[in-house]
Amino acid sequence: TDLEDLHLYATPREQRFRRFASLEFEGQLYMTPYDFIQAVTNDEPKHAKKWRSLSKQELNQILMETPPVWKGSSKLFRNLNEKGVISYTEYLFLLCILTKPHAGFRIAFNMFDTDGNEMVDKKEFLVLQEIFRKKNEKRERKGDEEKRALLRLQLYGYHTSTNNVLKTEGEDLVPRSYWDTLRRSTSQALFSDLAERADDITSSLSDTTLLVHFFGKKGKAELNFEDFYRFMDNLQTEVLEIEFLSYSNGMNTISEEDFAHILLRYTNVENTSSYLENMRCRIPEEKGITFDEFRSFFQFLNNLEDFTIAMQMYNFASRSIGQDEFKRAVYVATGLKLSPHLVNTVFKIFDVDRDDQLSYKEFIGIMKDRLNRGFR
């Protein structure tokens, strides 16, 4: 019951992690790769989770079987299944990856590569732990210190209270995404302090599947950009494949209606049935959406900010746009060429007033929610 009470002190992301995590080691909670996939593709866990305590021997066995980064693939998480451990900060990092355009992969790598040697070592990567922990401390709710200490132990693996900066009454903290926090926090000036702290926590933290995958069983390997890029690209592809396959029933395509279902998940749209009915009426002949089309659309979604700027540059911000302008703005912003059928399907889903034009409100506002899987 006490552990359930901790939900009251947790943010929505922390609550979701606790709900899907299935493993516990020395008081800290972990997801398996299977748990992570479930957390980003389902609304709720398939079964009520009870945290299973891992012994040191079991954890070591899991880490011994972790493949090196050069053996990575777009089936890594599915192949590992229950044989892996993912910490809360790594969960946040993986969520960041899922919503980043490929152009952002280089920025992410450079943020970790603090000494500029084109390689990321384990210590540089562990600074991530500190950045996300510091962000969390600023957002902690005032209340029972014992409960908050328990929550920190579950999520970050440390016992003692830190000199955290709590939000005071009336203080207005600007909410930032974890990606923005990472980008703003990784300045050289701040890194020396964080790197010192990373030294302190390295010895007390348990290794995880990601740490062993990236830096080897002894933690001495270094990660180059090509391996880092491949890992991020593989993860995006794997999650999209899982979502696509859950609807395709072994076929090469999913229906336009299934595509609409996937797009409208995790959004604030209350009456999704009206969107689906609108699309059924306007696309009576089912042609299907291929995986290549499906993936290209979500790659475009990860570039939504640049697309919005491109729309504004074309002076479309205050009025609706047609399919040709839409395709052109996508290409200018992302370099992606969306198929005419895919663009037509998107228009038929979101063009609620049926004027063959898309307005900002009809499309971008809704897609920002979908991009961040309901955690904007």
DSSP-assigned states of every residue in 135-199: HHHHHPPSS-HHHHHHHHHHHH---S-----PPPTT--PPP--HHHHHHHH--HHHHHHHHHHHH
Residue 247 binned pLDDT confidence (cut-offs 50, 70, 90): very high
Residue 176, in any domain of the structure: yes
- 57 and 14 inside one domain: yes
* Whole-structure pTM value: 0.84
Whether the pLDDT of residue 195 is over 50: the answer is yes
Beta-bridge partners for 370? none
Where among 191, 225, 259 does a domain terminate?
Answer: 225
Residue 34 binned pLDDT confidence (cut-offs 50, 70, 90): very high
Residue 238, in any domain of the structure: no
In sequence order, the 6+-apart residues with CB closer than 8 A to the CB of 233 are: 102, 105
Whether the pLDDT of residue 311 is over 80: the answer is no
Q: What mean pLDDT is predicted for residues 291-311?
A: 87
Reading the block at residue 359, the tokens are 């307005």
197-235 pLDDT per residue, tens: 556 656 667 899 999 999 999 999 999 999 999 999 999
Query: What SS3 class is residue 234?
Result: helix
Where among 225, 240, 261 does a domain terminate?
Answer: 225
Residue 240, in any domain of the structure: no
Of 317, 312, 301, 275, give the one whose Cα is nearest residue 367. Answer: 301
Q: What mean pLDDT is predicted for residues 61-90?
A: 95
Whether the pLDDT of residue 297 is over 80: the answer is yes
Whether the pLDDT of residue 68 is over 80: the answer is yes
23-37, 243-257, 306-320: least confident range: 306-320
Whether the pLDDT of residue 189 is over 60: the answer is no
Where among 170, 192, 225 does a domain terminate?
Answer: 225
pLDDT for 205 equals: 74
- 215 and 258 inside one domain: no
Residue 356, in any domain of the structure: yes
Report for 124-133, 207-216, 298-307: range of highest mean pLDDT? 207-216
Chain position carrying tokens 């995986």: 291
Residue 314, in any domain of the structure: yes
Residue 153 binned pLDDT confidence (cut-offs 50, 70, 90): confident
pLDDT for 356 equals: 83
In sequence order, the 6+-apart residues with CB closer than 8 A to the CB of 375 are: 12, 13, 16, 95
Q: Where is pLDDT greater, at 70 or 108? A: 70
pLDDT for 175 equals: 46
Contacts 24+ apart (CB under 8 A), 269-278: 269/366, 274/352, 275/349, 275/350, 275/352, 278/348, 278/349, 278/351, 278/352, 278/354
- 217 and 156 inside one domain: yes
Whether the pLDDT of residue 169 is over 60: the answer is no
Residue 285 binned pLDDT confidence (cut-offs 50, 70, 90): confident
Chain position carrying tokens 């703005």: 329
- 91 and 186 inside one domain: yes
Q: Where is pLDDT greater, at 86 or 178? A: 86
Q: How many domains does the chain have?
A: 2
Per the prediction, the chain carries an average pLDDT of 81
Whether the pLDDT of residue 36 is over 80: the answer is yes
Of 254, 267, 283, give the one whose Cα is nearest residue 349. Answer: 283
Whether the pLDDT of residue 163 is over 80: the answer is no
CA distance 367 to 266: 10
CA distance 29 to 12: 16
- 329 and 204 inside one domain: no
- 274 and 162 inside one domain: no
Q: What mean pLDDT is predicted for residues 300-329?
A: 78
- 171 and 265 inside one domain: no
Q: Where is pLDDT greater, at 208 or 104? A: 208
Whether the pLDDT of residue 346 is over 60: the answer is yes
Residue 351, in any domain of the structure: yes
- 189 and 83 inside one domain: yes
- 23 and 170 inside one domain: yes
Residue 232, in any domain of the structure: no
Whether the pLDDT of residue 161 is over 50: the answer is no
- 219 and 319 inside one domain: no
- 154 and 7 inside one domain: yes
Residue 235, in any domain of the structure: no
pLDDT for 250 equals: 86
Domain that holds residue 306: 249-371
Instruction: Give the rounded distance of the alpha carbon of 107 from its chain centre.
Output: 16
- 198 and 291 inside one domain: no
